[in-house]
Each structure stands twice: as C-alpha cells, then as structure tokens.
C-alpha cells in the first residue's frame, strides 16, 4: 500500500508525491484539524478526484517530431464543474498540478463560485517554440482533453506561460470537435471570441484592490507605499500598473532573467512597453539590476510574489522587510516560512487563495456571459469583482478574529469547510 501522507488514513498511491503537493496537503491537514473535520470527510475532501496524463507529439518547424507530456488534474467536481488554469513551464510536474488544483478548490469555494478546482500543465518552455509549434501544442493538448473538459465539466484558463491566444486555439479545437462554437469551454479568451472585458487585468487588479484595502486597515496611505513585485507577466504587470495608478511607488520588478530596482520608482508603463518589444526585462534601463532573491528581501511596504511557488522559504522568511505580503502567485510561501512569519507577527499576509482570486472571479463572469450570450461592459465587470472580493475579505477577517486563526488558516478553513459540506450533503455513492 503506497501510502506516503502522514496523518491520513487514505490508501493512496504516490502519484502526486512532491514537495509542493506535500505542502498543499500539510496546509489542508492543519485546516482540517482546526475545524475538526470528521474523518469520514477528510480524505474525500483532500485528494484530487482524478487526473489525465497525455503525450503530445508535435511536428516541429524543421520537420522533426517532439513528444511533450501534459496533465489535467480535477480535484473536486462536487460543487460544480471544475475550473483552473493551464501552465506551460519546463518544471511542471503532476504533483505541482495536483497541488494547484487543490488550491483552486479552496479558492473557488472561499469566494463563493459554483466550481470545483482543477489545473493543467505541459512540461515545455514555451519560449523555445515558434508560434506555429506553440499553436500545434495548444491544439494537441486540448484535443487530448476533449471528453475530459467542457462548459459543464471542467473549464481551463490561462496560467503561467499561457495567454489569450493559447485559449483561443484551445477553444477553436474543442469547438471543431463538438461541431459548434463553444466559447464557455475556456476562459481568458480574446474579447473577439467571447472573452470578458476586464479578464486580462482581473488578477492583478484584484491583487491591487486587496492591497489597498489591507493598507487602509493598517492606516497606511497607498500614496506612501513602496512595492516590490517578483514576476512581470500577466499578474505582476497588471498589479504593477494598478498599484501605480492608485498612487503606490513600484520600486522593484523582475522576470526569469533577473530583477530591477529603482528607489525613486520604476516607470511601469515604460517597462511594460519594453517587455512587449524585447520579450524580457533584461537591459531595461529605467532601474539597476539586482537578483530575484535580493528583490524578495528589499525593504518595502508591499511585497508581491507573482511568479512561482515556494520562493519564500525557511532561509529567507526571517529576512523579509515588507509590511504586507500579497501572494499573487499560488503557493509562494512554504509551510516552514509560514511558521516563521507567524512567529514574527510583523507582516500581514494576504494568502494566495484570497489575494489572486480576482482572476477566477472574472473567469466565472466570462463563463456566465458565454452561457447567456449576453455581454457586460468593463465597469459592470469590475464593480461585480470588487463586491465579491469585499465579501471574501470580510469573511476571512471574521473567521480570523472569531477563531484567532492566521489569515491563511482563516481563508483555507472557509474554503475547505464549504467543499466538505457539499460532499457531506451529496452523500457517498454506495
């Protein structure tokens, strides 16, 4: 009986076993203990429902063929169709995708969306593919998923390394298979294909909105706040733009090529234009080069990790010098780092499941608009987004105060509790 997970009675294989999956499981265990989740519900709620692993042969521009490996993990289908992004990255593992699918379940449940959690990934460095090869890969991945995804089953979206264009190719591939256009099968599409106004900026705007709210709670004016952001892609770039427009000073940004620092403030619009043109931040002349590790330890009001998991760990957690840690990325803080930050008590953590939930909230709006073929303007989208973020924040703060939980534990217990309740009410198929 391959049983690797401490404290659990499940008989499970080690299929997902990895650092990041164990991290998500430890978070779950802690939350389940905190709310005394009955044994009969624990493992049902904790482990992913099912997964699909696919081989993706692609014809390269030079005539050769390369086979890529991809996954889709559906964590929970008890509360609605599952929802979650697709990641194209060279370090994707099945365990990482499984952990990300768990976090999607808690996030959707926390913010009150009628979805379970899912996630997908392909082991590939998308920068090494030509646009044609990337299109072949995106289409092949979706082709393998037809039957496993669908508007009432599982709805992919963009994540690290994927974008609107990739969603468009996936939607087109699915639609060709079923014989009619099916925009609701993916979200994060271009507007021309049924994408929602505001979806591209939703995650970053949501992060900035919550940062401002938490700064208000701390009586810190945003106009005096300095911000360091790791990752300058969809989420990091949009968060930088939104925070700048609220009056904050972005002093550091980074991507996989390195980080940049300018105490006087970085011209975010110029940096975004530079990345659009050069593809990377490297050699942008509006700031001085530093390392990604140095960025995390900068003195600043708000630190925003917006790239990969597990970047704040036991070796650097004690050295963070921010007042607010806004987790735009999923899983940026390890369990060990969490304990260090809690013991320090001087950093307000906005946990990932709350902080970056703006993305899936507007994905939900996009799906609703697709199903109704009735489209909203941007003002309506953003107004509805802030209502849902406010509600989720208030619920988390109430839970935190009531049970004297950390903010992460408050958010996770709320998310987990609702999934467990739905499973309990649905019953167990005999």
Catalytic residue numbers read 119
Nearer to ligand NAD among residue 35 and residue 289 (C-beta): 289
Tell me how far, at minimum, the Cβ of 92 lies from ligand NAD, in Å.
11
Tell me how far, at minimum, the Cβ of 296 lies from ligand NAD, in Å.
10
Tell me how far, at minimum, the Cβ of 116 lies from ligand NAD, in Å.
16
The residue ranges that bind ligand NAD (CB under 6 A) are: 158-161, 203, 230-236, 254-256, 292, 306-308, 328-330, 356, 359
Tell me how far, at minimum, the Cβ of 41 lies from ligand NAD, in Å.
27
Tell me how far, at minimum, the Cβ of 117 lies from ligand NAD, in Å.
12
Cβ contacts of residue 100 below 8 Å, gap of 6+? Answer: 73, 84, 85, 87, 119, 121, 159, 330, 331
Tell me how far, at minimum, the Cβ of 237 lies from ligand NAD, in Å.
7
Identify whether the C-beta of residue 189 lies closer than 8 Å to the C-beta of residue 171: yes
Identify whether the C-beta of residue 337 lies closer than 8 Å to the C-beta of residue 317: yes
What would the DSSP string read from start to end of 360-378? Answer: HHHHHHHHHHHHHT----H
DSSP class of residue 16?
T
Nearer to ligand NAD among residue 16 and residue 232 (C-beta): 232
CA distance 347 to 338: 11
Q: Which two tokens stand for residue 64?
A: 């050769």
Nearer to ligand NAD among residue 56 and residue 295 (C-beta): 295
Nearer to ligand NAD among residue 145 and residue 326 (C-beta): 326
Per DSSP bridges, beta strands 258-261 and 288-290 are: antiparallel
Closest residue to ligand NAD in the complex (CB): 233
- Tokens 């709620």 locate to 45
Tell me how far, at minimum, the Cβ of 405 lies from ligand NAD, in Å.
23
DSSP class of residue 223?
G
DSSP class of residue 228?
E
CA distance 309 to 250: 22
CA distance 89 to 70: 10
Nearer to ligand NAD among residue 4 and residue 165 (C-beta): 165
E strands along 21-64, which residues?
50-59
What would the DSSP string read from start to end of 147-178? Answer: TTBBTTTEEEEE-TT--HHHHHHHHHHHHHHH
Identify whether the C-beta of residue 204 lies closer than 8 Å to the C-beta of residue 235: yes
CA of 364: how far to CAs of 326, 368, 425, in Å? Answer: 22, 6, 24
Rg (CA), the chain: 21
């Amino acid at each position: 009986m391959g049983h690797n997970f401490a404290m659990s009675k499940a008989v499970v294989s080690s299929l997902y076993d990895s650092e990041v999956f164990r991290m998500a499981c430890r978070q779950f265990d802690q939350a389940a203990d905190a709310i005394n989740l009955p044994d009969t519900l624990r493992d049902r709620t904790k482990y992913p429902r099912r997964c699909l692993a696919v081989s993706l042969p692609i014809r390269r521009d030079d005539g050769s063929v390369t086979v890529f490996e991809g996954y889709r993990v559906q964590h929970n289908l008890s509360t609605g169709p599952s929802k979650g992004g697709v990641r194209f990255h060279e370090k994707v593992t099945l365990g990482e995708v499984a952990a990300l699918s768990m976090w999607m379940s808690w996030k959707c449940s926390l913010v009150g969306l009628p979805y379970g959690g899912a996630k997908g990934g392909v082991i590939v460095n998308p920068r090494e593919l030509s646009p044609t090869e990337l299109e072949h890969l995106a289409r092949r991945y979706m082709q393998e998923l037809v039957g496993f995804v669908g508007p009432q089953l599982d709805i992919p979206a963009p994540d690290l390394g994927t974008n609107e264009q990739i969603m468009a190719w996936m939607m087109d591939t699915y639609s060709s298979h079923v014989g009619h256009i099916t925009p609701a099968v993916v979200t994060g599409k271009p507007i021309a294909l049924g994408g929602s106004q505001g979806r591209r900026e939703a995650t970053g705007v949501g992060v900035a909105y919550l940062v401002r709210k938490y700064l208000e709670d701390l009586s810190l004016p945003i106009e005096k706040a300095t911000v360091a952001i790791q990752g300058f892609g969809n989420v990091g770039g949009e968060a930088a733009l939104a925070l700048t427009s609220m009056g904050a000073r972005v002093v550091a940004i980074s991507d996989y090529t390195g980080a940049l620092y300018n105490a006087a403030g970085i011209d975010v619009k110029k940096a975004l234009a530079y990345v659009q043109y050069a593809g990377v931040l490297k050699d942008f002349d509006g700031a001085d080069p530093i390392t990604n590790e140095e960025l995390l330890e900068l003195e600043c009001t708000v630190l925003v990790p917006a790239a990969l998991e597990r970047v704040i760990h036991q070796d650097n957690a004690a050295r963070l010098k921010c007042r607010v840690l806004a987790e735009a990325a999923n899983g940026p803080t390890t369990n060990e780092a969490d304990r260090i930050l809690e013991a320090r008590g001087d950093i307000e953590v906005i946990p990932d499941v709350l902080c970056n939930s703006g993305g899936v909230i507007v994905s939900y709006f996009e799906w609703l608009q697709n199903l109704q073929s009735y489209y909203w303007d941007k003002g309506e989208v953003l107004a509805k987004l802030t209502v849902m973020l406010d509600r989720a924040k208030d619920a988390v703060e109430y839970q935190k105060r009531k049970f004297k939980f950390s903010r992460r534990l408050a958010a996770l217990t709320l998310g987990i509790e609702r999934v467990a309740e739905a499973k309990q009410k649905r019953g167990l198929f005999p």
